């Protein structure tokens, strides 16, 4: 049977006190809606419909989802009304799964169980909450079957003591759902079309309603304000930390890792406290990342060590390289096996050969540097002439002395030496020693200003 998903993402989210559409607020470095679309896509639906309203143009521009059918809810008259807007796109033979764009942690397993329950009527996801304030309660008949869902503002005091609540997530065949949606009325305190009314209508007509228990309350937590957003962020980080540890990664403190993207890791890796992973990051076996590091959209091969407070962005780092502490490796950097980028060294669009080391206080930009070179402290590649970026090419086995200024465009051939304190503006041939210093003068009898009086 066809599966079609409807994601409700039209709400303004007034309690967020933000000009940003609610579903574009971020958990784990990605918009809430993106999390929901990812898990929905894992179900391999035939169609993925997203109902948008407030800030719809901004939502469409931000979410890269070419397979999504966008549905505009011009007037927002409740969740039932939102689903009705998308039903015209749904194949008559399909099973329909309704999700919410502000519930980012829903699990694929739970959704599969809900879809399976729809084969007998309607499947809905429920959860037991210790504090169900503000949520719709699940009503059951004497036989224990679900008979209705009552919103809190419409519930009696007795009904408000019920701990089992509705998550809003449901599945049903189009043939079952469409006539129920057509029967919804607005006789409630909000004057809206409640999707939850489908359940009481189904029960009264003899349609079976099957509850599917969520794995945990955190899985189905919706987000209505920044307090809930922060709580879901912590839940997401805890889940991702556990996933990494199960795969063999050692975390110094799981509560002090922030994953804002995706991380794939090999065996026997260690990640210290307060590390931030952004974008798409892949690390090999035996990689160690020290405290306070930020790694973004990079690949770290086997045996790489990133020491404390280093920033690595858009880089490809070869095996057994060592970075930091306090190194900044910027986009376009490629480090071959065993290269060393030390404290307060910055690289940008630098291709650095095997075994080459820049141990302290250097800037290497728009550069190609060969193998087994030594880049002394204070070395700067002057790549920008005020108009264009220019390149520096350094061959294998070059020794660059401390406090050297390499003015690009420049070529230094293999085996050459640059004397400490030199400014180099023209090509250095293989095995040559380049000296670019001003002549020293010692002035005898000079009196410092403090002694001139």
Give me the domains of the chain, ranges plus CATH numbers.
3-220 (3.90.550.10), 249-434 (2.160.10.10)
Q: Among residues of the chain, what percentage have pLDDT more than 90?
A: 83
β-strand partners of 94: none
Q: Is the confidence at residue 204, as pLDDT, over 70? A: yes
pLDDT on residue 88:
87
Measure the CA–CA gap between 267 and 262, rounded to whole angstroms: 17
Degrees to nearest 5, angle at CA 143 with 120 and 148: 65
Q: Is the confidence at residue 76, as pLDDT, over 70? A: yes
pLDDT on residue 399:
98
Report DSSP state, residue 279.
E
Q: 74 Cβ partners below 8 Å, 6+ apart?
A: 53
Reported as a pLDDT band with limits 50, 70 and 90, residue 453 is: low
Quickly list DSSP for 30-76.
EEHHHHHHHHHHHT--SEEEEEE-TTHHHHHHH---TTEEEEE-SS-
Which class for 297: exposed (0-12), middle (13-18), buried (19 or more C-beta within 10 A)?
middle
Structure tokens at 73: 């809810």
pLDDT on residue 170:
96
Q: 67 Cβ partners below 8 Å, 6+ apart?
A: 41, 48
Q: Is the confidence at residue 187, as pLDDT, over 80? A: no
CA 171 and chain centroid, separation? 29
Structure tokens at 420: 């400490």
Contact 276, 295 (CB under 8 A): yes
When pLDDT is averaged across residues 234-262 and rounded to a whole number, the result is 97
Place of tokens 């998308």: 86
Highest mean pLDDT among 44-58, 155-169, 392-406: 392-406
Measure the CA–CA gap between 362 and 358, rounded to whole angstroms: 7
Q: Among residues of the chain, what percentage have pLDDT more than 70?
A: 100
pLDDT on residue 446:
85
pLDDT on residue 58:
95
Structure tokens at 285: 């076996």
Place of tokens 């051939």: 413
pLDDT on residue 144:
84
| φ and ψ of 36, to 5 deg | -65, -45
Catalytic residue among 187, 226, 360, 393: 360
pLDDT on residue 11:
86
**Neighbour tally for 27: CB within 10 Å:** 22
226 is catalytic: no
**Is there a cis peptide before residue 325, judged by omega within 30 degrees of 0?**
yes
Reported as a pLDDT band with limits 50, 70 and 90, residue 66 is: confident
Measure the CA–CA gap between 157 and 174, rounded to whole angstroms: 35
Average pLDDT, the chain: 94
Pure H helices in 321-379: none
Degrees to nearest 5, angle at CA 159 with 158 and 163: 110
Measure the CA–CA gap between 154 and 249, rounded to whole angstroms: 49
pLDDT on residue 317:
98
Structure tokens at 207: 């349609």
Measure the CA–CA gap between 191 and 168, rounded to whole angstroms: 18
Q: Is the confidence at residue 312, as pLDDT, over 80? A: yes
Upper half-sphere CA count for residue 40 (Cβ side, 13 Å): 31
Pairing between β-strand 164-173 and β-strand 121-128 as defined by DSSP bridges: antiparallel
pLDDT on residue 186:
81
Measure the CA–CA gap between 117 and 129, rounded to whole angstroms: 22
Q: Is the pTM of this model over 0.85?
A: yes
32-41, 138-147, 270-279, 419-428: range with lowest mean pLDDT = 138-147
């Amino acid at each position: 049977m066809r599966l079609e998903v409807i994601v409700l993402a039209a709400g303004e989210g007034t309690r967020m006190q933000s000009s940003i559409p609610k579903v574009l607020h971020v958990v784990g470095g990605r918009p809430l809606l993106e999390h929901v679309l990812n898990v929905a896509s894992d179900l391999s639906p035939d169609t993925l419909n997203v109902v948008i309203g407030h800030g719809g143009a901004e939502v469409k521009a931000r979410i890269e989802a070419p397979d999504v059918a966008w549905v505009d809810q011009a007037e927002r008259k409740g969740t039932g009304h939102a689903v009705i807007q998308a039903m015209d796109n749904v194949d008559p033979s399909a099973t329909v799964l309704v999700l919410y764009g502000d519930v980012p942690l829903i699990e694929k397993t739970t959704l599969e169980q809900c879809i399976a329950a729809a084969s007998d009527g309607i499947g809905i996801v429920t959860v037991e909450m210790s504090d169900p304030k503000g949520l719709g309660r699940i009503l059951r008949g004497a036989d224990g079957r679900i008979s209705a869902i009552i919103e809190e503002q419409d519930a009696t005091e007795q009904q408000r003591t019920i701990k089992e609540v509705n998550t809003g997530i449901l599945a049903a065949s189009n043939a079952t759902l469409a006539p129920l949606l057509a029967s919804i009325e607005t006789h409630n305190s909000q004057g809206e079309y409640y999707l939850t009314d489908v359940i009481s209508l189904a029960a009264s007509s003899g349609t079976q309603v099957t509850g599917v228990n969520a794995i945990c309350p955190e899985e189905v937590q919706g987000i209505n304000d920044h307090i809930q957003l922060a709580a879901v962020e912590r839940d997401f980080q805890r889940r991702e930390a556990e996933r990494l540890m199960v795969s063999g990664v050692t975390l110094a403190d799981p509560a002090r890792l922030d994953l804002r993207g995706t991380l794939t890791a090999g065996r026997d890796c260690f990640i210290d406290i307060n590390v931030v992973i952004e974008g798409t990051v892949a690390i090999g076996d035996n990689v160690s990342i020290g405290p306070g590091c930020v790694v973004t959209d990079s690949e770290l091969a086997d045996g790489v060590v990133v020491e404390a407070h280093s920033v690595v962005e858009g880089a490809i780092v070869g095996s057994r390289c060592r970075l930091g502490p306090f190194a900044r490796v910027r986009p376009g950097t490629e480090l071959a096996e065993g290269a060393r980028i030390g404290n307060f060294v910055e690289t940008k669009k630098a291709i650095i050969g095997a075994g080459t080391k820049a141990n302290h206080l250097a800037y290497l930009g728009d550069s190609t540097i060969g193998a087994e070179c030594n880049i002394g402290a204070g070395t700067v590649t002057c790549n920008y002439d005020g108009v264009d970026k220019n390149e520096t090419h350094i061959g294998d086995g070059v020794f660059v002395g401390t406090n050297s200024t390499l003015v690009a465009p420049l070529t230094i051939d293999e085996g050459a030496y640059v004397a400490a304190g030199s400014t180099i503006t023209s090509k250095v041939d293989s095995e040559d020693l380049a000296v670019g210093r001003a002549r020293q003068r010692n002035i005898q009898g000079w009196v410092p200003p403090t002694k001139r009086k």
